[in-house]
């Protein structure tokens, strides 16, 4: 009896691993790795620059380094990568499209229902592309530039006013979802 079960499992296993699902799993894994490669690099640069020139002095890291790093990752991996948010600081770069907007709204709902923000992600084949979104929760480090008004230094406030007159990205508290990393790739 036991033997028969094992034989059946061995016969079925190869079929379970083929077809559309296996392919989607591989794409999800790849997209996840691409998306996760940006935040740690950004965090290191942010921390270094805050140490060197203070929180206000680190604004260029987010303004110039983040898109530069995203561009490098795109070149290395073939995936397009950017950051999006429902409350943008840089409207021209970070305004979500319809798919991203829906996913971001779902993240907020899922977080409100008790899911851990750092675990929120969504991957799907959308038309001729594979798309993936990974939530970026607010951590202590983020508050100096995205926190409540009394957490922002006068220098940061002035720099934000000057660089981002339409800034919507303050007033966050720890654990809220600030936005997401969005990656996409055309399927062959
Ligand atoms: C030193 C200030 C600073 C810190 C600290 C900081 N940010 Fe930002 N953040 C910015 C600036 C400036 C931009 C706009 C970048 C641009 O022009 O593309 C930005 C943009 C973003 C965006 C892109 C969407 C948008 O609104 O334009 C996300 C997402 C984001 N930040 C998340 C975070 C998270 C999460 C943390 C903490 C881990 C963090 N930031 C820490 C200054 C900061």
Q: How far apart are CA 30 and CA 55, in angstroms?
A: 33
In a domain, 44, yes or no: no
pLDDT at 98 over 90: yes
Report for 10-19, 56-65, 148-157: range of highest mean pLDDT: 148-157
Give me the pLDDT at residue 188, please. Answer: 86
- Which amino acid residue places its CA nearest to atom 36 of ligand 1? 142
CA of 157 to the centre of ligand 1 (A): 14
CA of 188 to the centre of ligand 1 (A): 33
Q: With cut-offs at 50, 70 and 90, classify the pLDDT of residue 3.
A: low
The pair of structure tokens assigned to 184 is 């996409």
**Which residue segment(s) compose the domain that 20 sits in?**
2-36+79-186
In a domain, 73, yes or no: no
In a domain, 49, yes or no: no
At 81, phi and psi to the nearest 5? -140, 135
**Number of folded domains in the chain?**
1
Question: Over the range 30-45, which residues count as b (16 or more CB within 10 Å of their CB) and which as e?
Answer: bbbebbebbbeebeeb
Give me the pLDDT at residue 11, please. Answer: 47
In a domain, 43, yes or no: no
114 CB burial (10 A radius; 0-12, 13-18, 19+): exposed
pLDDT at 15 over 50: no
Q: What is the three-class DSSP state of 123?
A: strand
Q: What is the pLDDT of residues 103-112, one digit of tens each?
A: 999 999 999 9
Average pLDDT over residues 113-139: 97
Average pLDDT over residues 69-83: 96
pLDDT at 120 over 80: yes
> From the CB of 145, is ligand 1 less than 6 Å away?
yes
CA of 104 to the centre of ligand 1 (A): 16
In a domain, 131, yes or no: yes
In a domain, 68, yes or no: no
Give, rounded to a whole angstrom, the gap between the first and last alpha carbons of the chain: 45
Q: How far apart are CA 23 and CA 171, in angstroms?
A: 41
Average pLDDT over residues 61-86: 94
Residue with tokens 């561009």: 71
Give me the pLDDT at residue 32, please. Answer: 97
């Amino acid at each position: 009896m036991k033997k028969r079960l094992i034989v059946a499992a061995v016969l079925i296993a190869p079929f379970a691993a083929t077809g559309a699902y296996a392919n989607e799993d591989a794409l999800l894994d790849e997209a996840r790795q691409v998306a996760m490669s940006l935040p740690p690099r950004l965090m290191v640069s942010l921390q270094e620059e805050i140490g060197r020139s203070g929180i206000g002095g680190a604004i260029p890291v987010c303004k110039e380094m983040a898109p530069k790093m995203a561009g490098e990752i795109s070149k290395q991996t073939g995936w397009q990568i950017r950051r999006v948010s429902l409350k943008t600081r840089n409207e021209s770069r970070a305004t979500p499209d319809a798919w991203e907007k829906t996913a971001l709204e779902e993240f907020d709902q899922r977080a409100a229902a008790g899911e851990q923000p750092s675990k929120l992600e969504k991957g799907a084949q959308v038309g001729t592309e594979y798309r993936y979104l990974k939530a970026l929760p607010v951590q202590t480090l983020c508050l100096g530039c995205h926190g409540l008004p009394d957490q922002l230094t006068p220098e940061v406030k002035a720099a934000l006013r000057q660089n981002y007159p339409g800034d919507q990205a303050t007033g966050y508290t720890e654990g809220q979802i600030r936005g997401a990393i969005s990656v996409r790739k055309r399927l062959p």
